[in-house]
Amino acid sequence: MESKTVMFSALFLVCLTLVNGSPASVEVGKLTKATNVSWSSYNFKTILTWGPKPVNYTYTVEFSRVGRDKERNPHCIRSSETECDLTNELELKGVYSAEVLSESPLGSSDYVEPPYTRSNKFCPYDDTIIGRPEFKLKVNVNNKTVLIIQDPITALHKDGRSLNIRDIFKKNLKYKIAYNKAGSTGKKMLTVNESKAEFNNLDEDQSYCFSVAAYIPSRKGDKRVGEWSLPKCSPQKHKNLIEEYGLAVIGGAALIILAFVIAVIVLIVVCCKRARRQTLMAKETEV
């Protein structure tokens, strides 16, 4: 009787194992590989992102520069987050790749190699997006228009201060300036090496609108140009009558008005004399 009980119990465990799998296989099935692993970098603030949100497992990030050993950020080990800030871990001109590992939160050693997803290669110097710059617009009395550009601040620091993009790119940083007459769609483009630009030959009576973007010639494709700034327009100069029409036109108009006034006066005088003459003739007729 006891042997039958043991036999039935053994058969039951075998069936349960066949249906549900071994404990190790159940755990493996719960580990989901990361998807959409990508780099997000803006003004050198660099974050690795992925999905989905983990349930009953964690993520660990390993990153490495090409040709070097893998490293880990202590804040991105067995984490339930789906992003990892690597801003201060990467060298400016280094080329990196990263792997997001799916792991058990308890550190189980049942897996020879946890499932992982590898990112594309990334270089902060070549790939970070350069944000839109701010600039001041000044128009001098001699009609010279001056743009003073403020180099965008980055997420990097040195000697206790924040670095701007000029500190990083140095002479490799230029600026593209797009400008056009207010209300016109035809734009002109100017590239300058410094954070200042002067315009001397613009039409005096026109308002001009300007936009600025950082330009890195050493980069490839669309990454050469950063985000464009919001446009700013110079004030339109209001001309006085002499500037608007010139002395000749104003003098001619004055002569015409004067001639018209004289003609009206003469006409009034003639009419008055004629009316007086007719009045005298009427009185003489009555007498």
Q: Could you tell me if 46 and 12 are in contact, meaning their C-beta atoms sit under 8 angstroms apart?
A: no
Which residues, 6 or more positions from 237, have their beta carbon under 8 angstroms from its beta carbon? 143, 204, 205
Residue 145: helix, strand or coil by DSSP? strand
Dist. CA 102–CA 25, nearest whole Å:
15
Q: Could you tell me if 131 and 227 are in contact, meaning their C-beta atoms sit under 8 angstroms apart?
A: yes
Residue 120: helix, strand or coil by DSSP? coil
What would the DSSP string read from start to end of 54-91?
-SS-EEEEEEEETTS--EE-GGGSSBS-SEEE-TTTS-
Q: Which of 164, 159, 171, 163 is nearest to 149 (CA)?
A: 164
What would the DSSP string read from start to end of 244-278?
HH-HHHHHHHHHHHHHHHHHHHHHHHHHHHHHHHH
What kind and span of H or E run contains 124? helix 124-127
Q: List the structure tokens of 83.
A: 């992003």
pTM: 0.70
**pLDDT tens for the chain, residues 1 to 287:** 444 444 444 444 434 333 333 333 333 447 899 999 999 999 999 999 999 999 989 999 999 999 899 999 999 999 999 999 999 999 999 999 999 999 987 765 455 688 999 999 999 999 999 999 999 999 876 778 999 999 999 999 999 999 999 999 999 999 999 999 988 888 899 999 999 999 988 887 788 999 999 999 999 999 999 999 999 998 866 555 454 555 666 677 777 887 888 888 888 877 887 777 777 666 666 65
* Cα distances (Å, whole numbers) of residue 186 to 38, 171, 181, 197: 38, 30, 8, 20
